A and B are shown apart, each in its own frame.
Chain A
Amino acid sequence: MAEMRSVEFRREREQTWRELEHLIQLADTSGLRALASDQLARLPHLYRATLSSLSVARSISLDRALVEYLESLAGRAYFVVYGTRRHLRRQLADFFGWKLPATVRRAKWHIAIACAITLAGAIAAYALTRSDADYYYSFVGDMAEGRTPASSTAELHDGLYHQESVIGMLATFAAALFSHNARIAIVAFALGFVVGLPTLLLLFYNGLVLGAFVALYTSRGLAVDLWGWMLPHGVTELTAVIMCGAAGLMLGHGLVFSGARTPLDSLRERGRSAAVIVVGGVVMLFVAGLIEGVFRQTVTSVPARYAVAIVTAVGWLAYYGWCGRGRDAQERG
């Protein structure tokens, strides 16, 4: 009786499969870096050979154990070949040097809308609070001690130039502020999953608080002092919050207006871009926390405060506007 084709096939190729199995075992137990460079180079080759074996086995072999083995081996190798595999440091450099600013540039319309909504909230609250100071309570609540219409102008003024004496308190304040803000920013993004509506509300509400605050201080003639207090970290913080809100709007946009694609395909694509923007936002909030917790509490000179505000604004604009433009053009061909 002539030898069966499936038996012959297995004898010819088994060596390749065993080699791949060995390399994957090595990569799984001690990491990809445990592989020598020639082994690493052989990996894709062996993977492709095994995939082709799988196709052949499916069509000619009735040995179920063999087909199942190849199926598992190909799957296992797929994780290694198509998992994220570049070095973490390279990935970080890539992320901040190109991916993040490029993604933000592409999201400019979502950012513009998020900005407009925040502004609308701010203007509405400003106008209302100027006409009747009691609106302040409905926008900000009565939690802000010593910063309500009931406070005297002197109290309000002192609040803006108050200096913490204990350095530890300062750092704790900054850290708590950062983790609180960052959490809200991440939620603003994630809420975009509910077709973006909660994100819109959150942005609008953020604007309301801002507007009411500005109205209160302006009515006491403290506008210049307030902006000096707010802008050094506020430029960074507000930009970050608006970016994360824009990321949430992208999710909602993807779900509702999916165009030719299915809603899920479109959600996936926008979800990935949005996540990149949110990570950028979290890093910015960290920077804002540092400025707010350390710089603002120790520097009370108004010109210095404005200088920092201008420097941060120009810095972020330059970063998001131009960083990685060359690479972006290259990637798009």
Chain B
Amino acid sequence: MPAMSPALRQAEHAKLVRDIVTPEGVPIRFTLAPAGDRAAAFMLDMVIQCGVVVAVVLGLSLAVGGADRASWLTPFVIILAFFIVNFYFAFFEVRWQGATPGKRKLGLRVIDARGGQLETSAVLARNLVRELEVWTPLRFMLAKGTLWPDAPGWALVLAIAWTLVILLLPLLNRDRLRVGDLVGGTRVVLQPKPMLLPDLVDEPATAAATNVRGAPTYTFTETQLEIYGIYELQVLEGLLRQEPTSLGYFESVRTVTEKIRDKLTYQGRVDDDQRFLRDFYAALRAHLEQRILFGQRREDKFSDKR
């Protein structure tokens, strides 16, 4: 993550964010799964499928022992392979609330595009189409002799073009849908990881001794609190939530403090930069939240004052 600047990451992220309105009428924010993650999950699932088939074949042939008595083995394997290939995904997505082993590993989930219950029929629809999306073109290219003897060259070209269109479709539409998602009315989203961080304003007493709540060391006037908006408040929150051990942390705190003091024309002495920023954060948040109560939401420093 450090390779990408936060601003850039956010812009990339924002394009994939969707509000899904639940049956309760509350929109929940989900991030669509990136194509790479989906491809990786798919590969993983394929490996598992192949592994299961191979394991069953090996296990059975060892148990039966000898090829001549294993006459029922071939039909059994043919049928098993058919059901695994066509119903592996549907089986897990029904049982695991929209996840398969691969999706689970990558942290992906299938949800209903409209925010309703994920229906079994939707799961079936999105996965039956895989036969056409993956297997038919693959079989045609690998073994066109058995599927269509002496197929002309243009048919092969057509098959390749078809496969490419199907494969790239998720990249060509803004909701990252493959054909199966279109037919089933589903989306694949990232599984969020809930992590509750402590409130910067309401730190428990066990926090660093300098942060014991009580009267703030630094106070600000009404006019000083009028300068910034919500955007700046949350940028400051981001800085304060960084690990003090991270590279250049104290330098950033120093620079930001300078900047804010400058902007506020803050006259008092500042000994503790961190303490100053925390107090300013608390004061600014109280101020802005108060204004929201009165129906005035100040988005950033460029918004009109009052």
Binding site for B on A (CB under 8 A): 1, 4-7, 10-11, 14, 17-18, 21, 31-32, 48, 51-52, 54-55, 59-66, 69, 71-76, 78-80, 82-85, 88, 91, 95, 99, 166-169, 171-172, 174-176, 178-179, 182-183, 186-187, 189-191, 193, 251, 264, 267-269, 271-276, 278-279, 282, 286
Contacts and interface: CB of A to CB of B under 8 A. Distances in A.
Contacts of A63: 199-201, 237, 285
Given A71-B28, A167-B71, A193-B182, 8 more contacts: A63-B201, A73-B192, A75-B30, A76-B191, A78-B20, A84-B95, A84-B119, A279-B128
Interface of B: 20, 22-24, 26, 28-30, 71-72, 74-76, 78-79, 81-82, 86, 93-98, 109, 111-113, 115-125, 128-129, 131-133, 135-136, 179, 182-185, 189, 191-197, 199-202, 230, 233-234, 237-238, 241, 285-286, 288-289, 292-293
A182 B191 CA distance: 34
Contact of B121 (A17, A64, A72, A272): A272
B121 A171 contact: no
A271 B202 contact: no
A272 B192 contact: no
B97 A83 contact: yes
B192 A75 contact: yes
A274 B182 CA distance: 13
A6 B98 contact: no
Given A5-B289, A95-B120, A175-B78, A85 B182 contact: no
Given A78-B28, A80-B97, A186-B86, A60 B183 contact: no
B289 A175 contact: no
A179 B112 CA distance: 30
B124 A275 contact: yes
Contacts of B197: 65-66, 69
Contacts of B95: 84, 88
Given A79-B98, A80-B97, A187-B132, A69 B234 contact: no
A73 B28 CA distance: 10
Contacts of B238: 64
B170 to A, nearest CB: 15
B119 A11 contact: no
A176 B131 CA distance: 17
